Structures are given as C-alpha cells and as structure tokens.
Chains A and B, each alone.
Chain A
Amino acid sequence: MKAAPFAYHDPRSVEEALHLLATLENARLLAGGQSLMPMLNMRVAFPDHLIDLNRVEGLAGVTAEGGALRIGAMTRQRDIEESPLVRAHLPLMSEALTHVGHRQTRNRGTIGGSLCNLDPSAELVAVATALDAVLEVQGPSGARDLSIHELPLGFMTPSLAPEEMLTAIRIPLPPAGHGAAFEEFARRHGDYAITSAAAVLVLEGGRIARASLTLGGVGAGPLRLRSAEAALAGQAPSEALLREAAAACGSIDAMSDPQAPAWYRRRLAATLARRALTAAASRATTPARQGGLA
C-alpha cells in the first residue's frame, strides 16, 4: 500500500502555490493530508503533482475581524479546538471539533482541507454551513468570496475552479447570547457521523429571532432546513415547537450507503435535530453560555 509516483512541490507563498496550480497538469493540493494521504497510499488518487501547502506563509491562524472570525485555511483542527477566540464566540465549532477524528488526525488536519474534501459527514462542513461561513478563495484572476452554501457541487466535489485555492474562511459571529448545539451519531468515537445536526438559535424577548438548522450526512452536502428555520422564527421555543420543527427532517431526501439506508438517516436526522434544537434553546437562555466580541 504505497503511493504511486508523483512530483512534489512545496511553495512558500500563496502566489507560488497558485502559479504551480495554474501551470501543472493533474495537480492536487496537499493540506493536512488526513484524507488525501490514505487515498494516495491506497492508490485511489493518482495526481501527477502534489502541491504541499504546509510551508506556505500566512495560511494559518485565527483572528477576529469586524464581526467575524477569520480562520486561515491551513489552521490545524487542534489549533481551532484550542483557540480562545473560537471557544468564546463559536461554541458550535468547539463542540463539533470534539467529534472530529482523533488527537493524531486533529493535530494535522486543517479546516481548509476538511471543507474542500467535502465529506458528506464531515462535522466542520456542517458547522460552516450552519454559521453561514464565507470562503476566501484565490485564483489566477484574484480573490473572491464564496458562500459556503455554494461550495458543494456534488458528492465530495467543491465548486472551486481547478486553479483556485481556499485561503481562509470567515464566520460571522452569532450574536452574544445565542444558543448552539451540535449532535451527531457515529458508530464509534471519532468516526465520521452517520448523520449530524447543528442548531443555532438567537432569542429576542423570549422568542426565536433567528434559527439555523443544518443536517450533515444525509446527502452530498450539508442540508440547511430553511422551511423549518422559517417555522421557528418568531415563535417561543417550546418543546412542542422544537419537536415539530425537527420532525420535518423525517421527510427529507436522504442518501443510502452500506452503513445506513435512507429511512434510517431520516429517522436519525429528526432525532438529532430535536436534540440539537433542544440543547441550543436551553443554552440560549443560559447566561453563562453567552458571549460575543467585546
């Protein structure tokens, strides 16, 4: 189980990386390598060129910028987990990261790699979707912003052009006092979720001002349940309301694979959505959980 031959490039700057990406045939970017390396070793991926981003300057780090957190694409999952900024402002991401792989993979895996790999069950993709992340993409013609909602093009296929690369993601900070919860069901600790649910609730005057409900692992990309979100908005977060909103997940289109058929994923989705909404609602009303950019 040894990788097929490839040429290796380790650019030091984004410009250099983009140049390589634009000029080399059949090149792949190597971020943390926690998905690409197994595919290389198993000979299911055959790039002619590997462009390693691990020595590119300026792609890692978490910073607060104008009402958003900006996370460099090469920021390791472990560093996000330990970032005080993320802990304070994005409790949803912190909670989800405890489910992402294992210590050894989080030490190496990056947020950009996870988003671009776009595994249907990846926790960080679901979280970014729930939080309306904006992706900073650079290509030969300059930089552009891409909404996370426009990232999935198909099964494990991001909408980035072949000569483009993700450099950072910006996550608008949910207002102080929001409640967030991430629920997933995986076979073992650290496995990809069969299905996951991410919920964010913003309360105003005892009513839901804004709701975000996202399912992972049900289709090619995360599924935002806009109709359920709309049904929640303006209502008091009663148990019955949350249950009803979650029940809508029971009728979604869901995928089947050897691990779980569609009917099971639908059921799981409804259960996890209810649990996530309930936890988010309880946290939204818990002052100790509140936070926000000072």
Chain B
Amino acid sequence: MNAQSPHQPGAGRLVGRDVPRVEDSALIRGRGRYVDDIAPPGLLHAAFLRSPHAHAAIRGIEAVAARALPGVHAVLTLAELGPHLTDTRLVVALPSPAYRLELHRPVLADAEVTHVGEAVAVVIADTRAIAEDAAALVEVDYDPLPAVADCVAALEPGAPIAHSGAASNLAAELTLEYGAVDAAFATAPHRFAERLSIHRGGSHSIECRGVLARHDPLDDRLTVWSSTQTPHTARRMLCDLLGLPEEGVRVVTPDVGGGFGPKLIFYPEEVVVALAARLLARPVKWIEDRAEHFIATTQERDQLWDVELATDGEGRILAVRGQMIHDHGAYTARGVNVPQGAVSAMPLAYVVPAFRVAMKVAATNKVPVTPVRGAGQPQGVFAMERLLDRAARELNLDRAEIRRRNLVPGDRMPYATPLKTRGGMQVVLDSGDYPRCMAMALEAAGWDAFPERQRAALAQGRHTGIGVANYVEGTGRGPFEHVSVRIEPSGRIVVATGAAAMGQSTHTMLAQLVAEHLGGDMSRVHVIAGDTAAAPMGIGGSNSRQAVLAGSSAHAAALRVKDKVLHVAAGLLEADEGDLEIEGDAVRVKGVPEMKVTLAAIARAVAGAPGFAIPGGRGPGLIAAEEVVIDAMAYANGTAVAEVEVDAETGEARILALTFSHDCGNALHPRIVDGQLMGGIAHGIGNALFEHMRYDEEAQPTSTTLADYLLVTATEMPPVRILHMQSPTPLNPLGIKGVGEAGVIPVPAAIAAAIEDALSPFRAHVTRVPLSPVDIVALIDPAAAA
C-alpha cells in the first residue's frame, strides 16, 4: 500500500494523529482476552447438534445414549428449555411493513428444520470433545422435505416451500421509487437493460462466535460473555426471553476477533448457553468452530437484479427501473435492511431523476441472511456501475466521462435526494465533491493513458483491462451511542460506552478523543466498551457508526468534564479559568507550571464530604454522560479503479493495481482509516474473484472448509494505493464519516469492469461476481463451456 498521509488541517494534539493504539500492548503479546480465553472454575462445554438436512420435519429426538455417556451433564432440546423461556422464538426483525411471512427463528428447532446447520439440541459436558461425542449419539428422526436453494427458483410457481407452514416463499416485498419513471422511459432516446447477480458469501472473522455464561447464585445474576457486536441488544433479548430484570443480566463483550457484520445478530446459541448455565448452576461455554461458522453464522448472499437505465443522447441518466430478488435465507434474523440498503445504494452517487426498483425477498432453505461488511451496498453499486459501463460502451463514451456527467456535482452539496432511509428520513448527501474524488483516482491510476498501455500489452499477447466504480455510503446510523467520561478520585479517567469493539480500534478512538481535552495522556484513560454493567444503554457496532456516534458523545462528554475540571480548579488555584490548562495529570496555570492542582485532587475535592459544601458550586463528581443524537446519516464516498491482466488460457485474473480514493471527512487516526479501507478492499477482492459459498440444488452447502471457501491471502493482494479527500460533515462536531465498510463497496464492480475491458477482444460481457478462472474462460470461449 502506498498511502498518502492525509492532510489534516484540524489535527489536535492527539486527534487526527497516528498515536499508538491502546489495544496493541496486550494483543501483541498474546495477552488479549477473547471469549474462549476465559475459563472460570467449574466450566462446562457445549456442543450443538445441527440439522444435516436443508428441510425436514422432526418426528422425534432420542438422547438416552448421549445422556448416558460419562462426562455428559445434560442434553437439552426445546422440550427441556421451553418451560424456562417466555418465548421459544427469537423475535428480532427490524420494523417494516414489507413482511409477508413471519419467520422468527426458534431457540432450538423442534418441529421442523429449515436449513443445514440449524441447532436442534445442545450437549453440555466436561469437555468439548465429550460433548461432540455425545452429540453424535443423539438420534433425531427426520422426515426430509423438499428444499429450495435458489432465491429465483423459490419465487416460481410450484417451487418447494421453505417453511411447510407458509403459503409461499415470498418473505417480504417492497419498492423504492420516486419520480415519473415510466414516462421517462417512454421518451428516453436510449435504454439499457441488464440481468445482474452478485454473491457475497460469509464474513469469516478469524475468530468464530462464542458465548460463555455464568450464573452467580449469591446475587442471582447471570453474566454472559459473548463475541457480539451488540451487547445491549443481547442483554435485552436475554432479559426478555428469560424473564429477568436488567440488573439480573450482564453482557460483556471481551476482545473480539473480528466481526464484519454477522456478530451484530442475536443468536439462538446465546440464549441456550445462558439458560443452560442457569439450569445446571455451572458456567457453560460454547465456541463456534469453523465448520459451524459455515452453516450457523449468518451470511449475506445472492441477489438477482433485472434493471434498466434510460439516458439521453449524451449519456445523462433520465431514470432507472427494475426488479431485484433477494435471498433471505431461512429466517428473519435481522430484517429487510439488506435488500433495502442495496437498492438505496444504487443511485446514490449520481443524479437520478426518477427511480423505481421493486424488491422481492425470497425465503430459502439456507443460512439466514443479515449484513456482512457492506450490507447490500456492494450489490447496489455493482448494478449501477455495470449499467453505466454498458451505456458508455453503446454510446461510445469513455466510462469515466459518463460518470462525470452524472455524478452529483460538488457545488450542489448538501444535495437532498428524493430517497428515504429505512427509518423514513430523507437522504441528504451532506458534503463532498464526488467528481473531484473520482478525478483523483483516475489521475493516480493513469486512466487516460491506459488505452496506450492496453494496446502495447495486447501486442505482446497480454490481455489487460481497467475499470472504475463509484460509491456513496450512508455511515454513522443513529440515533445515538452512550458514552460517559468520569475522573476517578485516583485521577484515572474512565470512559464507558455502549459501543462495542471488534477489532476496529474503538478503544483507541475513544481514548484519543477524551485525552485530547483532558490532559493529552492516553495512558491515563481507561476505556470500557461492550459491558452492559458499565453503560446503561447502547446500540453497538454496525453501519460504520461507532466513531461517528460514540466519538461524538465522547467528545461532548469530555468537553463537559473539562469545563467542570477547569471551573473547580480555578477556585482551588484562585486563578481565572481562562488562564488554566490541563496537562497530563494536573491542571496548571499557563506559563506558571508550578501552580497546579492534580486531577486526582480535584476529583477528591468534588467527591464530597458529609456536611461540607462541594467546591465550585456545580455539584459533585467529575462525570458527564452523553448520548448525542444524530439521526441523519453522514454520506462518505469514493472511487475504485482496478487494472487487471487476464490469462486467456487459464482464466486467471491478476489485479495489477488498485487505486482507491475516498472521502470520509476528517480522519481521527489516519493509519487506522487506511487499515479499515485495506481490510475492506481485501474483502472486496475476495467477493470479486475468490469467495463463493456454494450450495447444491438440495441446499446442501458444498464449500464448508477454508480450503474450499477461498479467503484472500497476502500473495493475492495487488499493489493498493489509497488517496484521501477530506470534506468534513456538518452533521457531527468531529466532521467525520464512517469508514469501516467503505473498502468493500466499489471493489467488485471495479474489478468486474476491468475484466470485461480486458476481455473486450472476445466481446465478453460480465454480469456477475464472483468470477472464477472457470467463469472467465467460459466468457472467452462460451462454446467450450457449453
């Protein structure tokens, strides 16, 4: 990576600088604490028995042999758990009028299984190995039912029904539309139709999921450590399902080995393990293994787009319309947010006067679908960018030029689009200069000179191509994140938040923002993220939101504490507040360093003593809690340019260079921004060329190991160049936009375009990703593949 250091005019003493990460000291020494590293005395281990069938009725479950195995403490099915639960289903769907089926997943399946991997029973034993031994002895009498694997086939008449109780597989339908679409098409000089599909696969954090629950009978409190991105949601679900008050359940997110979306969902295993710990009065741990991750952790999967673009003679967009079928999987584990996010992302970067895409959400007998890094946006961008490439080709326009003519111009910011968010709020593109950002990438990638390079390569028999894709991403989804800042009587600064860290430097980000105003020493700041005992409420990690929401709250809370510190110190030092500064562990008079009072002394002074007045007259304690509410999303944007070489004999597509320009507003920590982008870019390369979660026609998964499901390794990464533009958003005090998902969004579209360009001598037309070497040879020589 050749990352230019971003120009950060507003950098503070810490904010905007590449300070050392506070997470690293423990993690680099192997002293992190992930769920599986926690082993309380008396710990038991859980293994889940999972359905081998994509669809089957359960006639009976026989666990006598399993229960008799030495070392086994319990084999639990829904029959045993049900009496202790207020509901045997996980009702987690986000609100939407679009649902046509109620597909809440059961805590454990008892009557019907609807995907391979659905949990049917749990074994609790002395060791995981014994639990797995016993699970193999549980006999489930399955009556296999017809299964549906493909979301398009699922909506055809006569298709097998994914849930035997349902009338059809249409789980939801909704349409996103504005403007006079059909009128625009009726008179448009040019119309371009495409059938496109994109497949994304799994998240595959290197740490799979995990839950550890311990019930303390002394204070009747359940503590649940979970590798979740949303601890407060998990607590609410556990309280609801187990009928417990909030103070009776503490959910802790320890170190998390990557999230990438699926860990934001509440899963059956979390409540089963928690309940098992209560029932057995022993701590119980379940660690998902990789085989389970392939069949039990949510994925984000296929969409088929039939879309049409109308333009005028100069390639200016007049309207977009079409349909999209979305694979929902077997249950509603989150909602219709992924298809909605996909379609919303489609027009966002461009001036699209009229738009209508109808979505059909199809239930299938596969792992439920919920957001994976990008959350639908790569699909929407793919659809738009493929249409623009098609239009450019047919109108004989440069592919960058057609984009220049249609990108939302910088001078129209803020640009109110006719789109609405899932919460019904208007989408207003708040800031940025999309054409300039694209120009940066094109220039750095040598776009204009590429045809010359391409001709020279072709003369040597080498097929090279270039492609460009733009994205605009809604980041920082509100409404709030809780952050409290408190100075303890020891002088230590404690920051507690409802945000949850899963590897994206959340602790560093909060420590930076707080220390910026409270002495500049991050080592004095202790951040507690992802602990419901430390923060009364929280939303958690998703939607590239934590820096925006938690960062804004931390900033505001730190300023309030600072204000009080200076006020109290002014009284103690008999100085004017304006003459004071906080440096390290003390407040001192500017220019008179020996005139100072420590933060500890101030904290003690305002801690109060019985019968004495609190100095400063502003009440006790040095604490401030903030939940800065930001409903509008901050829109980040960027451009990816990929240059590829295709070996026409083997079908290998090698990325020669990837240039990525982006604008996420101010960067709190430039190096972390680059790190987030690079991870996303690697994920995008995987989506474009490598990652393919395969199912056969009976919905049996066929890529179930990391030897079959290919994650990008160091040797597949191309040279990447990242370019930064900074248009601070007015929507939050820090001027920042989220960046956790950006990298993944435009990369599949840019690579697909580059491959199509490289294969132009063969008149190949790329309409889907991932593209394997076999797919590419089939594009070159369709007769051979037929």
Contacts and interface: CB of A to CB of B under 8 A. Distances in A.
Find out whether A and B make contact in their complex, taking CB atoms under 8 A apart as touching.
yes
Contact of A187 (B289, B292, B710, B777): B710
Interface stretch (B126-134, B251-259, B431-439, B670-678): B126-134
A42 B127 CA distance: 16
B715 A2 contact: no
A258 B694 contact: yes
Interface in A1-21: 1-5
B132 A43 contact: yes
29 contacts: A1-B290, A1-B292, A2-B128, A2-B129, A3-B129, A4-B132, A38-B705, A185-B652, A185-B773, A187-B710, A187-B772, A188-B690, A188-B712, A188-B715, A188-B716, A189-B715, A189-B716, A190-B715, A194-B773, A258-B694, A258-B702, A259-B708, A259-B772, A264-B651, A264-B774, A264-B777, A267-B649, A267-B777, A268-B650
A2 B710 contact: no
A185 B650 contact: yes
B463 to A, nearest CB: 14
B785 interface: yes
A123 to B, nearest CB: 15
B566 to A, nearest CB: 56
Given A43-B132, A258-B703, A267-B784, A188 B713 contact: yes
Interface string B695-714: 00000001101011010110
Contacts of B690: 187-188
Contacts of B784: 263, 267
Contacts of A58: none
A129 interface: no
B248 to A, nearest CB: 33
B39 interface: no
A206 interface: no
B291 A1 contact: yes
A191 B706 CA distance: 11
A189 B713 contact: yes
Contact-residue size bin, chain B (C-beta under 8 Å from the other chain): 20 to 34
Contacts of B651: 264
Q: Which 4 A-B pairs have the closest CB atoms?
A: A1-B289, A189-B715, A2-B129, A271-B649
B138 to A, nearest CB: 14
Contacts of B774: 259-261, 264
Contacts, number: 66
Given A42-B291, A258-B694, A271 B133 contact: no
B416 interface: no
Nearest to A195: B650
Interface string B762-786: 0000000000111001000000110
Given A4-B136, A267-B649, 6 more contacts: A1-B292, A2-B127, A5-B129, A42-B705, A258-B702, A259-B772
B206 to A, nearest CB: 15
A190 B716 CA distance: 11
Contacts of A187: 690, 710, 772-773
Contacts of A5: 129, 133
Interface of A: 1-5, 38, 42-43, 185, 187-192, 194, 258-261, 263-264, 267-268, 271
Interface string B128-168: 11001100100000000000000000000000000000000
A160 B3 CA distance: 56
Contacts of A259: 708, 772, 774
Nearest to B132: A2
Given A1-B290, A263-B784, A43 B136 contact: yes
A2 B690 CA distance: 28
A3 B130 CA distance: 10
A1 B715 CA distance: 28
Contacts of B132: 1-2, 4, 43
A260 B289 CA distance: 28
Contacts of B715: 188-190
Contacts of B705: 38, 42
B421 to A, nearest CB: 39
Nearest to B650: A185
Contacts of B136: 4, 43
Interface in B428-471: none
Contacts of B716: 188-189
Nearest to B208: A1
A188 B772 CA distance: 12
A4 B650 contact: no
Contacts of B649: 267-268, 271
A271 B651 CA distance: 11
A4 B710 CA distance: 27
A191 B652 contact: no
B37 to A, nearest CB: 18
B70 to A, nearest CB: 12
Interface string B648-677: 011110000000000000000000000000
B707 A271 contact: no
A5 B289 CA distance: 18
Nearest to B784: A263
Interface in B612-654: 649-652
